[in-house]
Structure 1
Amino acid sequence: MEYQKQLQRIKNGSGFIAALDQSGGSTPKALETYGVMGDAYDNDEAMFDQVHEMRARIMTCDCFDNERVLGAILFEDTMDRKVNSKPTANYLWEDKNIVPFLKVDKGLAEHMSGVQVMRPMPGLDLLLDKAKNYPVFGTKMRSVIYEPNVDGIELVVQQQFDVAKQIISKGLMPIVEPEVDINSTKKHECEVILKINILHNLERLADDKQVMLKLTLPEEAGFYQELIDHPKVLKVVALSGGYSRSDACAKLKQNPGMIASFSRAFTEGLSKQQTDKEFADTINTSIDEIYQASKI
């Protein structure tokens, strides 16, 4: 079964997970960084054409290989499109042996109690059913924590795990992502409360179930070791969260057992205007730096 093969690949393989999942809200900024300004497209479809072109260019690069890249997180629009005449997830898994994940959240709700929970996802079951038509292994969903507000953080983690159980029931692996904002003035205090809540929710998860965790690189080295070692956690991956690639990699090296799942830091330095060789050299440098930091 493909799921079992993918499970073993994530559990035992080396490498990192590339986050190629900017959605409607974050795509214009991602394109601008890539050298595609807003005047290059005049509607959402044209915008997504541009970003898919960028992602396909990354995915089809020879250096985007399964020796160093374990998985890739896709946005729904990317899953629905093709790379090299194949549905994106099929191309990744069948041609590259890279495990596909799908971003499923619909963005963030309003700021309250020092956090932003996820917006409601009334169409989640349908989206998960659609993902099952492709070789998609798991999902990802993001909330954000800004302040060490006990009630707010409890709300974030509870919502994440409630949705995770829905995802598990569909036969997919959820990546739970309660991001702590790197600019929080009380970041470590947030992380202390977050870890307690994650451990509490893991205890309430059935013994034969697992989740993955995507967490901000902690202030204290090795702070999430208890989660990395937890039997109900398949893998703990780190988000770059606005850190530069060099800073994110330096922090990652201080946290053995965590691997990268970078987005902005992964595509740093790429430009549409680059020749294919310049593009390949830039992405290869990025892949290698992140891979080396994830190996520790």
Structure 2
Amino acid sequence: MNQEQLDKVKQGNGFIAALDQSGGSTPKALKAYGVDESQYSNENEMFDLVHEMRTRIVTSPSFTSDKVLGAILFEQTIDREVEGEYTGNYLANKGVVPFLKVDKGLADEKNGVQLMKPMPDLEDLLARANDRNIFGTKMRSNILSANEAGIKSIVDQQFEVGKQIIAAGLVPIIEPEVNIHAEDKKEIEEILNREIIQQLDTLAEDELVMLKLTIPTVADQYKALVDHPNVIRVVALSGGYSRDEANELLKENHGVIASFSRALSSDLRADQSDEEFDAKLAEAIDSIYDASVNKK
């Protein structure tokens, strides 16, 4: 583990940019960027276009390490280059800590949750991550209702895989997302908080994780997680909220920083001039940074 990167993620001011749209979410991300499906004819062309979008973001003068602590990348992105360097190396040299999305998507709903699909090639992917200067990983599950057995299965799976990632020398971002439209969202978060604490308490002193959580209904619901000695950082996903909504809610949660995707890139368009693009990105970065650092 890179100690300088660990210190930056743990102590630095700023947020984590989520640039990890995968095969299923890439068409939607490109469409929001102003690139519709008529502009590419196969998956390779689609991924070329989304890499161009990501490259434009991370090379922007607005994308600086004094406000962006890290960036989460898609698997293909770590094997692609930005300005002649592998993406992870480019970010690391810029002072932005690189993370990698490792999950393969969601299984069908059962017990009010969606577990992660099997990851049979995880060991190989973690080895590639280490070769590509990646600091940590991210993996997402989905919680739809306050089913205790379902939530326990989500957390158990996340930590089981998380320990495999720790053993490979990387830091896992554990992401059990709570659907923001769930009628029993508050109850879900109470159960989730308990289950995560139980798992954290089983970790050895040197087994460190990060947590990526939906912004809770009750402010500071996750304060015990923020303060837990095995947690490097708690970050929040925007989860379908607009950037303004997500920022305002985030400000109420002390010690929690942003890890936004759509809320970061929602105003960016392919046909913008570089000056327009940089200005819109700077506006988003400044507002998300402010919500991460300045609390109510």
Q: By the TM > 0.5 criterion, same fold?
A: yes
Deviations 1:217-251 (A, max 9, x none): 00001111010000010000000000000000000
- Matched residue, 2:61: 62
Q: Secondary structure at the match of 1:209?
A: coil
What amino acid sits opposite 1:230 in the alignment?
H
- Matched residue, 1:193: 191
Deviations 1:81-101 (A, max 9, x none): 00001000000001x100000
The aligned runs of 1:242-281 (5 Å cut-off) are 242-281=240-279
Aligned equivalents of 1:226, 1:257: Cα separation in 2: 10
Q: Secondary structure at the match of 1:215?
A: strand
What amino acid sits opposite 2:13 in the alignment?
S
What amino acid sits opposite 1:33 in the alignment?
A
What amino acid sits opposite 1:218 in the alignment?
P
- Matched residue, 1:11: 10
Aligned equivalents of 2:284, 2:206: Cα separation in 1: 36
Deviations 1:21-68 (A, max 9, x none): 000000000000000000100110000000000000000001100110
The structural deviation recorded for 1:173 is 0.2
- Matched residue, 2:140: 142
- Matched residue, 1:93: 92
Aligned equivalents of 1:20, 1:51: Cα separation in 2: 10
What amino acid sits opposite 1:7 in the alignment?
L
Runs of 4 or more consecutive aligned structure 1 residues displaced over 4 Å after TM superposition:
none
- Matched residue, 1:114: 112
Q: Is 1:288 the counterpart of 2:286 in the alignment?
A: yes
Task: Provide the alpha-carbon RMSD of the alignment.
Answer: 0.6
Aligned equivalents of 1:89, 1:25: Cα separation in 2: 22
Aligned equivalents of 1:208, 1:34: Cα separation in 2: 41
- Matched residue, 1:164: 162
What amino acid sits opposite 1:127 in the alignment?
L
The structural deviation recorded for 1:207 is 2.0
Q: Secondary structure at the match of 1:132?
A: helix
Aligned equivalents of 2:280, 2:205: Cα separation in 1: 43
The structural deviation recorded for 1:5 is 1.1
- Matched residue, 2:152: 154
The aligned runs of 1:179-190 (5 Å cut-off) are 179-190=177-188
What is the percentage of aligned positions where both structures have the same residue?
56
TM-score between both structures, scaled by the size of structure 1: 0.99
Show structure 1 runs of 5+ residues with no match: none
- Matched residue, 1:241: 239
Aligned equivalents of 2:76, 2:183: Cα separation in 1: 36
Aligned equivalents of 1:169, 1:93: Cα separation in 2: 22
The structural deviation recorded for 1:208 is 2.0
What amino acid sits opposite 2:281 in the alignment?
I
- Matched residue, 2:32: 33
Count residues with an aligned counterpart: 294
Deviations 1:226-277 (A, max 9, x none): 1000001000000000000000000000001000000010101100010110
Aligned equivalents of 1:215, 1:276: Cα separation in 2: 33
Q: Secondary structure at the match of 2:18?
A: strand
TM-score between both structures, scaled by the size of structure 2: 0.99
Show structure 2 runs of 5+ residues with no match: none
Aligned equivalents of 2:249, 2:76: Cα separation in 1: 32
